[in-house]
Structure 1
Amino acid sequence: MMKKGILLVMPVPFREVGGRLGFDDQTCEGLVRWAENFERVVMACPVIPEDVAANSETSMTWQAIADLPCADRLELVPLPYAYKIPDFIKTYKSTSQLLSNKIQECEYLCFALSGVIGDWGAIACLTAMKLKRPYAVWADRVEYEVIGRTLWKKESLKKASLKRLLKDFVTLPLLKPYQRYLIRRSRLGLFQGQDCYTAYSPFCQNSHCVYDIHTHKSDQIDAASLDSKIKSISSHEPLRLCYVGRVAEMKGPLDWVRVIHHLCQAGVNLQATWLGDGPLLSEMKSLAVELGVSEKIHLAGFVSDRTQILETMRNHHIFLFCHKTPESPRCLVESLVSGSPIIGYSSPYAEGLVSEFGGGAFVPIHNWQKLANLISELNTDREKLSKLIFNAALSGQQFDEQSVFQNRSDLIKQYLK
């Protein structure tokens, strides 16, 4: 008799934490939500080698999964960290067999797609096809677009090895048809945000635009804080802008600094804050010094305290972003929850978040001059900015972790019976 529960095959890595398997704190929160909706959760993910984790330029807060309140209903399946072609070939057969066993044990199947080499979610799809088992696919960014837009950027050329660049160059033409093949044969498509939904939904009969967020109803800005923020705008306090995320090419940190410089040149009295670290942090600092705006920008580095992150967003008037790739970053949702309008480069994802209640304003991608001009106009028209802040809070009320995970779980149960 088939056991109950769901098998999730994801690229998010396990890491050893005090001799036990752990996840970053946000993935741990997601596991708790999955366990609220399924009596058993089997999580299959690669284990990141310690030397790779230690040298990673992304800071994370890790915790042992065994300490979660739902730990007794979780099964962890470590997979090889096989993003190099020889490692992938060497471990392919044994890992495929392991995934086959787990697929036959579980009632529901949901696999995340991420690439070609080392993508065990894709291999799980192929295995499920052989076993004639229906499965759901999950995607949170348009991977072939992300790689294509960043492959030959300065950051990639400086940081990536020649082998890595050659691997991406060879596998990129395969990625789009490969993912479409897997999606066409899925029973359900769960695509995070409008960018992913637009790219992938034509290839799956049962496609849904969903969200992967980790804010709670209690995180939503309260009426008193919202009123205080709007009053600070009306009293012509200095304009406060912020961003939370990695200092990486795809986030546009250098464009972000240029926007701040342009605003200062236009005479806007402002304070700007960026929370996060990453490979372009030193270059970002250098550019701020070169443009003479280092005193206007606070680069706080990595901040692990989620309460502090949300408080920063609540205390700022605008969430300024310069995203350059089709992904679905949670920071935009968190900003709306905090009553901060999202002002930045246009994308279907960002526009979709505020399509019903408003709370955002956008310009074409890469046009940082136009973005600076837009913010300058909002600084002059404080009444319009106040309305954007109010509407952002309205839009933010649509998003809380329990609701979005329940919606996703209900879809899986509906279509994978």
Structure 2
Amino acid sequence: MTRPRPGSLLLYAPVALYQQDGTFWVEAQAVNGLRLWAEHFDEVVVMMPLAPGPAPAGWLSASEQATALARVRIEPLPMSYRPGVFLRRLPETRRRIAALITQAQYLSFAIGGLFGDWGAVAALTAHRMGRPFAVWTDRVESQVVRVVSTQVPWKTRLRARLTHRPMAWLERAVIRRATLGLFHGRETYDHYAPYSRNPHLVHNIHIGPDDHIPADRLAAKLAAVRSGAPLRLLYVGRAEAMKGPLDWLAVLAALRDRGVDFTADWLGEGEMLAEMRGRIVALGLQDRVQTPGFVADRARVMEAYCAAHLFLFCHLTPESPRCLIEALTAGTALLGYEGGYARDLIWSHSGGLLVPPRDIDALAERAAGLAADRERLADLLARAALDGAPFTDEAVFRHRSDLIKTHLAG
């Protein structure tokens, strides 16, 4: 009988993996996460879905990241999001997962989805094998599918209506069987905690201690705000329905109509980016709003965070996006739709303002009020930096690692 290797951790990460030139290509933040896991475990084995085609921008060659991935082994699983493909590949892939489970001391699986959700398969397999495991998730995937289904073409809408209830059942079935529930952000935690025997609120970010805005840079930023510089708005994330990009543009149009001097940037690709660009032209905002798409240069993204005054977000679904924490660490105040996650992040120092979901006029009023009251705006930015201060990638990965070692030790 195979014995688990002491100090070994088996993960499932639903981040697309690519293979070319004889090596795997891994998304940059996933590389950082694996490096941090490996600091707390003797060996890390990560299962990831292997996607066809060349790696997109932002993915790194594993062979060139040998130092960061020194104690990490990547196990590719088939990408199988179509029902027929998933069912054909399920028996063989489940056997592979079971073999990996027998070799690891600690087990932690990210879940989210239905067909092709190898994290859920791994969790149920571990349960049948009598192995304790942790489940991790950063959003309520079934609710995301349900809400977004109202804004997509009819074929996608029909598929979403057929799958979101079975998806919710699968989420709850896995969480009930997990020894440990790791739920990223208050919104996700509040939804799933009732189904978990041992729920914990955790975070997942990739901001190092040196990535926080320096004190002198924050002081210069506050001085520029007080001098009356144009309001700078930012969003970083995918241009998809769940992020509310059309609400975001409606807020900007309302600000323009109120005579507010501002610029705004949306950094990120997505299926709605072309529609956003068309709407920008239709609203006459092209001289104020930039949509450069995906920005691979991490330094450029962090500079955008530091330069912004308000991180304007219009999320329509329950999730815990890292971008809100990243904004706070840059001394950029949150301004967006109310939700448990955002509210929890600014609970200590009130580094942001929240309004009821879909209340575009209220968002515009808050932004216009801050643009007119520069002392209040500067104070809000200073509070945002205080709210962001405790968050570092080292701290959040240490927290999760300690929970896994404590609760899965048996």
Instruction: Write the distance in 1 (CA, Å) between the matches of 2:232 and 2:88.
Output: 52
Task: Determine whether 1:281 maps to 2:273.
Answer: yes
Q: 2:61 aligns with which of 51, 59, 64?
A: 64
Aligned to 1:263: 255
Aligned to 1:2: 4
Task: Determine whether 1:132 maps to 2:124.
Answer: no
Count residues with an aligned counterpart.
405
TM-score by length of 1: 0.94
Aligned to 1:359: 351
Instruction: State the Cα distance separating 1:179 from its structure 2 match.
Output: 1.2
Letter in 1 for 2:4: M
Aligned to 1:146: 144
Alignment partner of 1:122: what SS?
helix
Instruction: Write the distance in 2 (CA, Å) between the matches of 1:173 and 1:232.
Output: 50
Contact 1:46 1:78 in 2 (8 A): yes
1:320-339 counterparts in 2 under 5 A?
320-339=312-331
Instruction: State the Cα distance separating 1:166 from its structure 2 match.
Output: 4.4
Letter in 2 for 1:42: V
Aligned to 2:15: 12
Contact 1:187 1:206 in 2 (8 A): yes
Alignment partner of 2:92: what SS?
helix
- Residues 185-214 of structure 1: CA deviation (Å, up to 9, x unaligned): 111000000111000011112111111100
Instruction: Write the distance in 2 (CA, Å) between the matches of 1:413 and 1:196.
Output: 22
1:67-86 counterparts in 2 under 5 A?
67-68=64-65, 69-86=67-84
Instruction: Write the distance in 2 (CA, Å) between the matches of 1:189 and 1:263.
Output: 42
Aligned to 2:98: 100
Aligned to 1:413: 405
Instruction: State the Cα distance separating 1:165 from its structure 2 match.
Output: 4.8
Aligned to 2:153: 157
Instruction: Write the distance in 2 (CA, Å) between the matches of 1:307 and 1:251.
Output: 23
Letter in 2 for 1:125: A
Aligned to 1:245: 237
Alignment partner of 1:12: what SS?
coil
Letter in 1 for 2:153: L
Aligned to 2:110: 112
Greater Cα offset, 101-110 or 260-269:
260-269
Instruction: Write the distance in 2 (CA, Å) between the matches of 1:266 and 1:152.
Output: 31
Contact 2:32 2:68 in 1 (8 A): no
Contact 1:17 1:62 in 2 (8 A): no
Instruction: Write the distance in 2 (CA, Å) between the matches of 1:151 and 1:81.
Output: 23
Contact 2:242 2:316 in 1 (8 A): yes
Instruction: Write the distance in 2 (CA, Å) between the matches of 1:109 and 1:165.
Output: 35
Aligned to 1:199: 191
Aligned to 2:300: 308
Instruction: State the Cα distance separating 1:60 from its structure 2 match.
Output: 3.9
Instruction: State the Cα distance separating 1:138 from its structure 2 match.
Output: 0.3
Instruction: Write the distance in 1 (CA, Å) between the matches of 2:402 and 2:121.
Output: 25
Identity over the aligned pairs, expressed in percent?
39
1:158-197 counterparts in 2 under 5 A?
162=155, 165-197=157-189
Structure 1 gaps, min length 5: none
Instruction: Write the distance in 1 (CA, Å) between the matches of 2:260 and 2:252.
Output: 9
Instruction: Write the distance in 1 (CA, Å) between the matches of 2:183 and 2:89.
Output: 29
Instruction: State the Cα distance separating 1:180 from its structure 2 match.
Output: 1.0
Instruction: Write the distance in 2 (CA, Å) between the matches of 1:44 and 1:166.
Output: 31
TM-score by length of 2: 0.96
Instruction: State the Cα distance separating 1:168 from its structure 2 match.
Output: 3.0
Alignment partner of 1:311: what SS?
helix
Alignment partner of 1:37: what SS?
coil
Structure 2 gaps, min length 5: none
Alignment partner of 1:71: what SS?
coil
Instruction: State the Cα distance separating 1:397 from its structure 2 match.
Output: 0.8
Task: Determine whether 1:209 maps to 2:201.
Answer: yes
Instruction: Write the distance in 2 (CA, Å) between the matches of 1:395 and 1:11.
Output: 29
Instruction: Write the distance in 1 (CA, Å) between the matches of 2:163 and 2:288.
Output: 43
**RMSD between aligned alpha carbons?**
1.4
Alignment partner of 2:116: what SS?
coil
Aligned to 1:220: 212
Letter in 2 for 1:374: R
